A and B are shown apart, each in its own frame.
Chain A
Amino acid sequence: MIEHGPLLERLLAGEFICAVSDENAFRHLTNEETREAIDSYLRPLNRRLASNDEGSVYFLAWRQLNEAARDQLSRQLGETVNSLLPLLEWLQLVQEALGRDTLAAPGDVLKPAEFSAKCEDNQSLRERLERLATDSFFGSQSDQLDAQVKQLFKRLKEHGYLLQPHTERQVFVVTGKIDYLIEVVRFIRDEENLPIDAEREEGTQEALL
């Protein structure tokens, strides 16, 4: 267990562990024996190891749900729901601004400078960025474009959606927590029967093999 000390600390601190945020730890977590060992270690702390459906991010869940745990989860759910729209709008904005044909995915590299430059040249992107940055989730107080972009990236890093490999360099990497976010959206859509375009049958192609 000793060698997993740092990993346990990160998990206990509420972090999401994915192949981007900690490649080494993630590889250990894909091993079932390690997962079981960590699980039994966490038992007295009323926690267990959990992952998203895809298995691309690991985090800690309550082992037994008492009232206090449920209250905490309710509050957390409220925060997640409140942050949903700004986060999703950010994903769309990045995709459009950088002219990509797909949403940002784990491992993608994002540069605030590039993002600023694209928004600067385009009035509509500029306005959307402004609206997004001043949203209470991102909470920018500035009316300067660069400061707004900086705040966006700062908040996303704080929430674990982005990783900054070198503090002195303004280059960010998208983490696996994005996968988690998208699964949350999918879950809410299915659970609440929201009238959102049903996805095309995923995986039928793979099934043909």
Chain B
Amino acid sequence: MAAVGNLHGAIAVRRIGALLILAMAPLLMGQAKPKLVPDVSQRQVEIRYSFTGAELLLFGAIVYPDGRVPEGATDIAVVVRGPAQRIVVREKQKVAGIWMNVESERFRSAPAFYAVSSSRPLANLVDERTSAIYELGLQNLQLSPASGATSEQRRRFEEGLVDLRQRGQLFYENPRGVEISENVLYRARISIPARVPVGTYTAETFLIREGRVIAGAAREIRIEKLGFEKAVADFADDWSFAYGILSVLLSLGLGWAGSAAFRRS
């Protein structure tokens, strides 16, 4: 666990560093640049008994230094990413007529959820190097593969993972999901499916002009189980033996109550 924390921490530090440099960029260059004032509709998503997913609204304003909207296109990309997980991806192959797991690949920091939404297709906004730096787009996720496999095999597994999670709505790109009105206000909807794990998610907003990211901001969103769901999950984890006993007693009680109720009638 500590290793995961450190790794996650290291990534967070790297990312915050990148954002800091962005924030200082106008000062260094001695020239006023637009600023972002971002917000998120929900800072906390609660998983309750009828949780079927959530829809986040990421919105905000672009503040130009002297209130003047400059020439040229201003674009926004927003990225919501879930906690990094250590995972193993297995690949099925046909062995003696049966499809079974044969090869596998470990990844040290695969995001549990990743959604990127932009005002125009990412390929039109930034070059490959920039999108790799900011991890914009599914092709640019840094998953940190752990085993010493060939790069070809690693790519195959990465593509498999991305494809699997895309179909599960856990990873997606929406190339026209950000609406910008009057070059000032922007908003984007990101839907989060029910199957996401709990944890700290980050919502990042990037302001892009002329192929460069000129401002960025991040907000944290906590997704957590609350109330009964949290109590059950914690109980099952911390007091597993008592939880097992309770499960057995509950099923005995229900079975007995059912037969008793029907015998009388």
Does B bind A?
A: no
